[in-house]
Structures are given as C-alpha cells and as structure tokens.
Homo-oligomer: A and B are copies of this chain.
Amino acid sequence: MPTGAPTYELFYWPSIQGRGEFVRLTLEAAGVPYVDVARLSAEQGGGVQALAAILAKVDGGGPFFAPPVLRHGAVTLSQTAAILQYLGPRLGLVPDDEASRLQANHLQLTIADFVLETHDTHHPIASSLYYEDQKPEARRRSELFITSRIPKYLGYFERVLETNPAGGGRHAVGSALSYVDLSLFQVMAGLGYAFPRALSRISSRLSHLVALRDRVAAEPAIASYLASSRRLPFDLQGIFRHYPELDP
C-alpha cells in the first residue's frame, strides 16, 4: 500500500453549507482529494455520529466546541479561520510571506464575525429556538443589518480589495487567489441568496466585490464544484437564509 501524504478529512454537518462551506471551497479550489466525512454513510464511518465522535475526542487537540473540524494526519483542529490558516500554505492559497499570512488571518476572522452577525439576523434571540419563535426580533435585527452592518462590512472588504497594492483590485491579499477571496465569494453568494434586494441596492458601490464573486465562480475548479452534487444548495437551515419578510 502506498504511504502518501495524509488525506484531508472534513467533519461538518452533512446537509448544510454552513461554516463548513468555507473549508470545502478551499479544498475544492486546490483540487486536492478530501473526505467530507459526515456525508459518508454510517457504514462507511460517516454520518453525524462521526461528527459527535470527533468533537468529543480529547487526545490530539480536542475536545472541540463545534464543527467544522479538520483532521490531517496527526493534526486535528477546529474553528473555520484556524482551519483555513492551516490549509492556506499547504494548498498554495495564501502568499508565502508572514505579513500576508497575518493579513489573511485577520481578514478571515472579520469574515467570521460577519457570518455570525448574518446568522443572527434570523436567530437574534437564540439558536435553540425556531425562526418562527423569534420573527419580530428577526425583522427588527435584519432592518438594522441591512441599513448598517451590510454596508459597513462590505464597504470594508471593498476597500481592502481597492487598496491592496499587489492585488490590482482583484485579490484581498497578495496577487493571486487566496482562501480569503474564496470566502468573500461565499459571503457575496450567500448574501445574494438571503438578502437579494438589499444587496442589489448597494451593488453599484461594490464593484470589486461583485467582480471577485463572478471571477471566483468562473474559476474552473470552483465552477466544476458549484455544478456538482458536492455543493449543497442554499436553504432555510444554514447561515444564509432567504426569508422575504426580512429583505423587504
């Protein structure tokens, strides 16, 4: 049996994009083999029981609070931004120099903050309650999210693209595709699904982000992924949810 490099194993909820999607996009863009463990059947060692088992595992970095978790040989780690920080150099999806890597990490952490704020538009009171049990609060939070937070965060990332001296307006960090670009694609795609009206109203001020989204979607590896059954659809279970009443 050949003993090659260890396989990347992603542990994430098998039926939603969620935070795991930022990891999936990075692995797909690099074209490396990986296993989306919980999407395998229980007989193959998958299912949500595999997810529960890795979270509870205390040797090798755990226990972990929540998925996604990545296992790569002897290394196991959780938290989306930490996983991408680990994968970036190994997959050629972050520049080589330390300054760029620090920059990619703080940008990714800011994306993580924005993702959590986006999730809380439909769950402002508690993740443990149904959306239907917090609709008035969701309406109120979404209104301010649309008028204040989307413009603040996307305006910030637009400025990052504009001012990156090496990127020519095309890349958040350095002069080539990075995991931050892939994550910005996902944010723009997700907001376009969840808040299409709000996003279209400000898109003219986000020309770099809109172009980045379209360019990433057309990258051969990503286009192929998006057309495959590996790409789960946006729905009403993940982070980005389209409730028309929240996007008037």
Contact = CB atoms under 8 A, between A and B. Distances in A.
Given A79-B109, A82-B106, A116-B116, 11 more contacts: A58-B163, A66-B110, A74-B99, A77-B102, A79-B106, A82-B102, A86-B102, A124-B125, A124-B137, A126-B148, A137-B140
A106 B137 contact: no
A181 to B, nearest CB: 17
Contact of A61 (B103, B140, B159): B103
- Each complex incorporates copies of this chain amounting to 2
A128 B105 contact: no
Interface of A: 58-61, 63-66, 74-75, 77-79, 81-82, 85-86, 99, 102-103, 105-106, 109-110, 112-113, 116, 120, 124-126, 128-129, 137, 140-141, 144-145, 148-149, 153, 156, 159-160, 163, 165
12 contacts: A59-B165, A65-B110, A65-B156, A66-B110, A77-B103, A82-B102, A82-B109, A86-B102, A109-B112, A124-B125, A124-B141, A128-B144
